[in-house]
Structure 1
Amino acid sequence: MTVGARDGAPRQRRDARRNRELLLEAAHEVFTEQGLDAPLDVIARRAGVGNATLYRHFPTRAALVDAVFRDSLTGTMDAGEQARRAPDAWAGLTAYLEVVFRTLAADRGSNDLMTTHLRGVESLEAVHEHNRRTVDALLSRLRDEGTVRADVTTEDVLFGLAALGRAVPALTAATATPGGRVTLGATAAPGARATLDARATPGATTSPDATASPDARATLATAASPDTTTSPDTTTSPDAAATGTAPPGTTTSPDATATAPDAWRRPLALFLAGLRTAPAAGPLPAPALTAAELGEVLRELGPHRTRAGDREPGA
């Protein structure tokens, strides 16, 4: 074997590793923008490689999806473990859903993964099963305490959460800016992507305490506080308005606005209140949608929605 032949093999391996990294980076960007049904040739072009190279590294779409999202999905499971150990089952459930819905709002790829079923993604199968066991364990405790309705099943809750979660990207996009849409990958709250996506922070894990501030968790758990009071003369502080939450004893001003990634708090609070035997009458988090925002949400939910890469300049 010649010296040139010996030198060529390591270079080919370096090139292969580099191509794989480029493909994973491009796939994460495209899936974030367009969802898991994004054309694979778009990913190959963005990575600067040919389709043959993509399929050599990832023979199926499921293999590519698994490689891109495996670490971030594992973070959701870590959050579930913490929720199960919470002394207060309702607080554990709401903290866990805080993590889940922040993940759903972060990008379309994560949302597709957690609200639909994609065959062949091994890590996804494990996450779905872990999520079911987490919700089931917490509901069992809550039924025993008499906190939630006795006839509420795990499947009831999982179906409701999936249906609501499926609408989160459209809700986020419709409320991100007044009268305009933005790419979902750019709308996550500061630090949310780094926390929820372990690929952004090697070795990072997701936990309810890492992603949900005390005020945010209190907002999701509004139904757990029957003694919540409101004052028409009290308005939300700037920091609270930024997250759509209010400190204890205050109410949200009609002029307050929630940041786009938190727009899901209001419908989630309504859903959770319906599970309880005695829902609280405290204020709902985040402002209600306007008629125009609702129309935009419904348009975004349609099969004709415009992909981020296809929008006209200024749209």
Structure 2
Amino acid sequence: MTTSEVARTRKPWRRDAQERHDRLIDAAQREFARRGVSASLEQISRDAGVAIGTLYRHFPTRLDLLMSALEPRLEEFLRGAEKAMRLEDPWEAFTCYLENLFRTQVGDRGFNDFLSRRFPDSPEAERIHDLVCHQIGDVLTRAQQAGQARPDIALADIVILIWTNGRMIDATRDTAPDGWRRQLRLMLDAYRAERAHPLPEPPMTDSQLYDAMVRLNTAD
């Protein structure tokens, strides 16, 4: 169940409680976008003009607040993802999917962190990550079966590209905010079947990838 679905099924709040909830969401969106998933909850509560206890009454855990704050960004990404996946040409679907994903990363460090990590304590975060992995696998497999993408690319290679893009966005947001477009196109050329050369190492397994993404989340 998504955050918006939960909101529709709960009892309506009093007007003042709803206003506090909305201020917390607004403050969290700004702070997570600037600082990432480790943003200060105390700062968020101050920006929203409420006590930290009020924040925890509305959002018992950091992940509850994060998922609520990211909901508009996630919906934007998923709309673009569905549009890309409907494209008839497999290579175009693959490239448009990645362009939509990377474009959605721009300007939101919290969304970058969310894409790059795994959150085992949040069933909703896990569900969304599983969906994204399934979508990536779908567009990649289509391009491979059409002979357009090299056959040795794996999900882990795409996730590593997401990590790389996130770091580049952080480094260039003020100096070259569109630089990610060049790097993506360079990597897409490397992914073409006609560019394939033997690789010295196999890709990470799904288990290795999952463990690496969890480790990123516990490294802060």
TM band (smaller chain): 0.7 to 0.9
Which residue does the alignment assign to 2:17? 16
Which residue does the alignment assign to 1:47? 48
After superposition, where does 1:180-219 map in structure 2 within 5 Å?
Answer: none
Structure 2 residue 179 is the aligned partner of structure 1 residue 263: yes
Give yes or no for contact 2:77–2:100 (8 Å, CA) kept in 1: yes
Query: Are residues 27 and 34 of structure 1, via their aligned partners in 2, closer, same or farther at CA, if it must alter by over 3 Å?
Result: same
The CA deviation at 1:26 is 0.7
After superposition, where does 1:108-127 map in structure 2 within 5 Å?
Answer: 108-127=109-128
- CA offset digits 1:177-204 (Å, max 9, x no partner): 4xxxxxxxxxxxxxxxxxxxxxxxxxxx
- CA offset digits 1:260-303 (Å, max 9, x no partner): 33111122122222211224xxxxxxxxxxxxxxxxxxxxxxxx
Query: Are residues 278 and 171 of structure 1, via their aligned partners in 2, closer, same or farther at CA, if it must alter by over 3 Å?
Result: farther
Larger radius of gyration: 1
Secondary structure in structure 1 of the residue aligned to 2:91: helix
Query: Are residues 90 and 148 of structure 1, via their aligned partners in 2, closer, same or farther at CA, if it must alter by over 3 Å?
Result: same
The CA deviation at 1:122 is 4.1
The CA RMSD over aligned residues, in Å, is 1.9
Which residue does the alignment assign to 1:313? none
Which whole-Å CA distance do the structure 2 matches of 1:118 and 1:148 have between them? 30
Which residue does the alignment assign to 2:200? none
Structure 2 residue 164 is the aligned partner of structure 1 residue 164: yes
Give yes or no for contact 2:84–2:94 (8 Å, CA) kept in 1: yes
Of the structure 1 ranges 47-56 and 74-83, higher mean CA displacement relative to structure 2 is found in 74-83
Give yes or no for contact 1:62–1:119 (8 Å, CA) kept in 2: no
Aligned residues between the structures: 183
The CA deviation at 1:47 is 0.8
Which whole-Å CA distance do the structure 2 matches of 1:117 and 1:163 have between them? 13
Which residue does the alignment assign to 2:190? 274
Secondary structure in structure 2 of the residue aligned to 1:118: coil
Which residue does the alignment assign to 1:73? 74
Which whole-Å CA distance do the structure 2 matches of 1:146 and 1:30 have between them? 44
- CA offset digits 1:107-157 (Å, max 9, x no partner): 111111111123444443233222211221122222222212222223332
Which residue does the alignment assign to 2:140? 139
Which whole-Å CA distance do the structure 2 matches of 1:49 and 1:152 have between them? 48
Give yes or no for contact 1:76–1:99 (8 Å, CA) kept in 2: yes
After superposition, where does 1:277-288 map in structure 2 within 5 Å?
Answer: 277-279=193-195
Which whole-Å CA distance do the structure 1 matches of 2:121 and 2:67 have between them? 8
Which whole-Å CA distance do the structure 1 matches of 2:123 and 2:67 have between them? 7
Q: Which segments of 5 or more consecutive residues in structure 2 lack a partner in the other structure? A: 1-12, 196-220
Which residue does the alignment assign to 1:85? 86
Which whole-Å CA distance do the structure 1 matches of 2:168 and 2:116 have between them? 10
- CA offset digits 1:39-67 (Å, max 9, x no partner): 11010111111111111111100110111
Which whole-Å CA distance do the structure 2 matches of 1:152 and 1:168 have between them? 22
Which residue does the alignment assign to 1:222? none
Which residue does the alignment assign to 2:101? 100
Secondary structure in structure 1 of the residue aligned to 2:191: coil
Percent identity reads: 36
- Structure with the higher fraction of residues in helix conformation: 2
Q: Which segments of 5 or more consecutive residues in structure 1 lack a partner in the other structure? A: 1-11, 178-259, 280-315
Which residue does the alignment assign to 1:31? 32
Query: Are residues 92 and 69 of structure 1, via their aligned partners in 2, closer, same or farther at CA, if it must alter by over 3 Å?
Result: same
Of the structure 1 ranges 71-80 and 20-29, higher mean CA displacement relative to structure 2 is found in 71-80
Query: Are residues 66 and 122 of structure 1, via their aligned partners in 2, closer, same or farther at CA, if it must alter by over 3 Å?
Result: farther
